[in-house]
Amino acid sequence: MKFPRTSGGFYAWLFQRLTGILLVILLLIHFAVTHNLPKGGTLTYAVVAPRLATATWKVFDLMFLVCALFHGLNGVWMVIQDYVHSETAQMWIYYGLCTLGLILLILGAITVIPFKA
Amino acid sequence: MAEYLFRIFRYDPEKDEGTKGRVQEYKVDVQEGWTLLDVLVHIKWFMDGTLTFRRACSHGICGSCGMTINGKNGLACETQIKDLGTQVITVEPLRGFRVIKDLVVDMEPFYDKLYAVKPYLITYTPPPSDRERLQSPEDRKLLDGKYECLLCGCCTSSCPTYWADKDFLGPCALLKAAKFSLDSRDEGWAERVNVIDDKHGIWRCHTIFNCVEACPKDLNPTKAIVELRRMALRGRL
Amino acid sequence: MLEKPSVIRHYRWHVGTIAWLLHRITGLLLIFYLVLHIWVIHHISQGPAGFNKVMGVVQTPIFLLLEIGLLGCVLYHAFNGLRIIVIEFSKEGVEAHKQIYAAMMAVAIILFLIGGVPMFIHFLHALAG
């Protein structure tokens, strides 16, 4: 069974790099703000909740979610393409990864968007 | 003169069919200045006539004697025994290709990838009637580090990505593609990009740099792939 | 005809091999973490009690130690990723890939120490109760 891929790996390559750069920036902010590094400390509801309820952080976290999911699953897809050669197996894994990504995206979005402290 | 131990991979399709091959050891008195090819020739002529390997020019230009020497690809004729720095020397056929016999591998899939990228000058405008197509010295300089390739297969055979994905065009074919794509006289980019802008083409490379380490002519196939990616990116945007 | 199995450890390693292998390994570990992270943080919608309960579990000493490893994975993957981007988009990057690797790893190690040392002290405190 053939399944159509039109970009030939170009968009996978390009967006892996773009989301990669974005993730580095987002992560540095995440470590500094959420985890209060280099000082550190215990994370409780009282510490995190007020910040997560603001619109700015909702946008930040949604961007984080989308970039991380795309970058991670696209990375797995690249590794799969190296080692799995059957078109049928590739197709099932591809749709499997898409489904997993969608579930995690929804799970993340229903955590972030409606949140009130 | 110094005695070295050579551990050479042996596989005879008539006797060893179904096995993973075997290793045969030869003790050889190596004379000053001998290359690995000299040693192999010495073994074949004076010790064991059944040892099979490819050779032609013995001067690093024909690209026939590519093999894995102490775990790294190179040309036997350009490898000085003294420079290897070990008393025990392991010699294996190029990996990633099927072994026909001993150190001889089936290069057919490698050539197929090469033909796929159209490794020749493609032109649509007719040449000047009174002379050949001219190229400025600056444009000619762009091809340095691209045209010297011998097609020995050392790079493609060293590539972990090629080991995993046998449909990957591989560093050698992509270096050739870059050589012709960067040529100021070539007009075949539109045809060539269809082949290389593919999940088994330029985007498959994971910049591991084994090809650069392996190339006996010190060429840089990774650089060629990166240049092709930039050309494809410019073309797409 | 026989095909010799191409086993990575049977071929000579160099900076590029190590960079690539670690990039894959850390990348695959990070995707597992991402799934776990999304699931754990989802508990915040259950209010303070539910969130503090699950956060209590993931802030036990063993998790605090694993988190230092996580920081290492993230920093390695991030800075080797930046190395790949520099290699692909700079003029002389391909030739200088080993030097770029050294520079990126130096930055990653410094950041690892800046972040990791307080995390380790925190771990020791948690261990002491």
Same-domain check for residues B22 and B50: yes
Q: Which domains does chain A have, with CATH numbers?
A: 10-112 (1.20.1300.10)
Are A9 and B203 within 8 A, CB to CB? yes
The answer on pLDDT for C72 being more than 70 is: yes
**Tens digits of residue pLDDT in B9-19:** 999 999 988 88
Angle formed by the axes of helices A55-83 and A45-52, nearest 10°: 100
* Shortest alpha-carbon distance between residue C5 and chain B (Å): 7
User: What average pLDDT does the segment C116-121 reach?
Assistant: 91
Rounded distance, CA B157 to CA B67, Å? 9
- Considering chain C, what percentage of its residues have pLDDT values greater than 70? 97
Q: HSE-up of C26 (CA within 13 Å, CB side)?
A: 19
pLDDT of residue A8: 80
Same-domain check for residues B156 and B232: yes
The answer on pLDDT for A4 being more than 70 is: no
Cα end-to-end span (Å), chain C = 64
Same-domain check for residues B124 and B162: yes
Overall domain count for chain B: 2
Rounded distance, CA B106 to CA B2, Å? 34
- For chain B, list residues whose CB is within 8 angstroms of any CB belonging to chain C: 9, 11, 13, 16, 19-21, 68, 70-72, 92-93, 95-100, 106, 158, 160, 163, 206-210, 212-213, 220, 222-223, 226, 229-230
* Residue ranges making up the domain that contains B196: 108-236
Tell me what the pLDDT averaged over chain A comes to.
89
pLDDT of residue A49: 87
- B24 bridge partner residues: B8
Residue type at position B235? G
Same-domain check for residues B207 and B100: no
Whether the Cβ atoms of residue B103 and residue B54 lie closer than 8 Å to each other: yes
Nearest to A24 among C39, C45, C82 (CB): C82
Same-domain check for residues B112 and B226: yes
- Which of B105, B132, B150 marks a domain boundary? B105
Same-domain check for residues B141 and B82: no
**Tens digits of residue pLDDT in C97-106:** 999 999 999 9
Contacts of C90 in chain B (CB under 8 A): none
The answer on pLDDT for A55 being more than 80 is: yes
Question: Domain boundaries in chain C?
Answer: 13-128
Q: Which residues of chain B have pLDDT under 70?
A: none
Rounded distance, CA B142 to CA B179, Å? 9
Q: HSE-up of B48 (CA within 13 Å, CB side)?
A: 16
| C33, C34, C60, C79: best to mutate for the A interface, most A CBs within 10 A | C34
Same-domain check for residues B101 and B116: no
- Which residue does chain C place closest to A43, by CA atoms? C55
- Considering chain A, what percentage of its residues have pLDDT values greater than 90? 68
Rounded distance, CA A68 to CA A52, Å? 18
**Tens digits of residue pLDDT in A75-106:** 999 999 999 999 899 999 999 999 999 999 99
Same-domain check for residues B226 and B151: yes
In the structure encoding, which two tokens stand for residue A2, read together? 């053939």
Are C3 and B97 within 8 A, CB to CB? yes
Whether the Cβ atoms of residue B207 and residue B222 lie closer than 8 Å to each other: yes
Same-domain check for residues B95 and B126: no
Prediction pTM value: 0.93
Rounded distance, CA B30 to CA B8, Å? 16
Rounded distance, CA B26 to CA B29, Å? 10
Question: What is the domain-level CATH number for residue B195?
Answer: 1.10.1060.10
The answer on pLDDT for A1 being more than 50 is: no
Contacts of B209 in chain C (CB under 8 A): 14-17, 97
Same-domain check for residues B120 and B190: yes
Are A21 and C82 within 8 A, CB to CB? yes
Strand order in the sheet with B2-10: B22-30, B2-10, B88-92, B66-69, B72-75
pLDDT band at C56 (very low <50, low <70, confident <90, very high): confident
- Which of B80, B105, B130 marks a domain boundary? B105
pLDDT of residue C10: 85
Same-domain check for residues B98 and B119: no
The answer on pLDDT for A2 being more than 60 is: no
String of DSSP letters for C65-94: HHHHHHHHHHHHHHHHHHHHHHHHHSSSTT
pLDDT of residue C33: 96
Report domain C13-128's class: mainly alpha
- Which of B105, B140, B175 marks a domain boundary? B105
Same-domain check for residues B119 and B78: no
